[in-house]
Amino acid sequence: MGIAGVCMLHPSMSDTDHLDADAANSPEDSSEEPTIDRSAEMLRGKPEVPRGPDPMIGRTVGHFKIKRVIGQGGMGAVYEAMQETPRRVVALKMIRAGVTSRSAIRRFQYEVQTLARLRHPGIAQIYEAGMSDQGEGGTPWFAMEYLAGSRILTHYAEDKKLDARQRLALFARVCDAAHHGHQKGIIHRDLKPGNILVTSSGDPKIIDFGVARSTDSDMAVTTLQTDMGALIGTMQYMSPEQCDADPNDIDVRSDVYALGVVLFELLTNTPPYDISNRPIHEAARIVREDAPTKPSTIIRLLRGDIETICLKALEKDRDRRYQSAVELRQDIERYLDNEPITARRPTLTYQLKLLYRRHRAPVVLSIILVILLVLGVAALSVLVSAQAAMNQELHRQVSRSQNVIDSALRMLEPPTNSDVSWGRDVTYETVLDQASSELND
């Protein structure tokens, strides 16, 4: 999650400590209301002023001489420093002593060279990294590219009034940068708008790539060793597997999920989940289980392929997400080029499976009730059919009996046009002969 990244956890820490502090007097910023992510103020050039002189001012760390404090927080501090050769201004991030574990320091020492080799126009360059012993034990530090005048991705899009297609094109460049880090074997773990800056020239830059892994900030989050209110804001961007509190069970698809959240927020100006004012365990449950809001319910114009792309990146099951940031970028580019995207809407069968997983007991009870209802209807139908058949057979038997009775009565009645003289002396033999004669006729 990194020093700049953990500012979401520690409100006094800036997400973009790199920014020029001269913007602190900007009148348009003074009216902004504070939010959970109070580090956004520093993105507008409002670094927190330390209560007393910082003992690091004037010291040299590595090849960098510290000039002033840009931001401070629970995880450490960010300084403006000057590199002697080549001479340039850098953002020097120092982790506070005691924050990092021994395993994290060993991992940091192993990954330093890889972090320094991350060279991509969309990633803030880490010039150098190392360990510093300031009398409190070895602590990691990073000398990073100083991005003066940059703004948070979402703020930049709003300020420039970018339309949906322009935002997608900008975001595709972010995906390309994330994929470069993944190819080097580094997972960011804390991708969010505050860690994606856009320079004054309109170029997006991901900051703190790999810093989270080197500082054990995943564990700091999952063990809740941070400010609770600010943690809720960070959890918006955590993948379901990150919420399962196992930092080792993380791969590039966790970053893909975070990119999906960033894309959702970039397009709608709102997060996909409402976890504000929720307890930590409930917020984690929502991220793990609840379906994200559909972008089209916020902005109807996002219905269709854009919504499908967003929701695929936000799949709970990582096997159903885009498997890499480049796959996400390619689908965005297909949309921009008016070509068919590869993502498909979830099938009804899959949606039912998700419903079963989230609400197993109610679903099982509902299934049982439906089965009983179907069986009851089927049994009733059989009974009704049997009764109808019995009624039909009874009616047939009655009709047949009536016909027999009518035939017998007709045989006993004297024929109206007969040569036989009916009287008291006529025998039944004569009647039967006459009836037989009439039947033969």
Q: Which spans in 151-197 are helix H? A: 153-159, 164-183
As a whole number of angstroms, the distance between CA 78 and CA 131 comes to 15
Angle at 376 between CA 374 and CA 380, to 5 degrees: 115
- Tell me if 256 sits within 8 A of 171, measured CB to CB: no
Long-range CB contacts for residues 98-104, cutoff 8 Å, separation at least 24: 98/136, 98/137, 99/74, 99/75, 99/139, 99/215, 99/216, 99/220, 100/139, 100/140, 100/214, 100/215, 100/216, 101/216, 101/219, 103/216, 104/214, 104/215, 104/216
Cα-flanking dihedrals φ and ψ of residue 140, to 5°?
Answer: -75, 150
Distances (CA, A) of 286 to 35, 153, 232, 310: 21, 25, 11, 18
345 contacts: CB under 8 Å, gap ≥ 6: 308, 311
Q: What gap in Å lies between CA 404 and CA 398, rounded to an integer?
A: 10
Distance, in Å, from the CA atom of 197 to the CA atom of 137, rounded to the nearest integer, reads 32
The catalytic residue among 190, 208, 216, 331 is 190
CA angle 369, 375, 377 (to 5 degrees): 100
For 203, other C-beta atoms within 10 Å of its C-beta total: 15
Question: Residue type at 436?
Answer: S
Cis peptide before 340 (omega within 30 of 0): no
User: CA-to-CA distance for 317 and 328, rounded, in angstroms?
Assistant: 16
Distance CA 323, CA 265 (A): 21
Active site residue 190: yes
Question: What's 151's DSSP letter?
Answer: E
Q: For residue 105, what are the contacts with CB-CB under 8 A and spacing of at least 6?
A: 131, 138, 140
Task: Give residue 256's identity as a one-letter amino acid code.
Answer: V
> In degrees to the nearest 10, what's the CA dihedral of 324, 325, 326, 331?
100
Q: Which are the catalytic amino acids?
A: 190
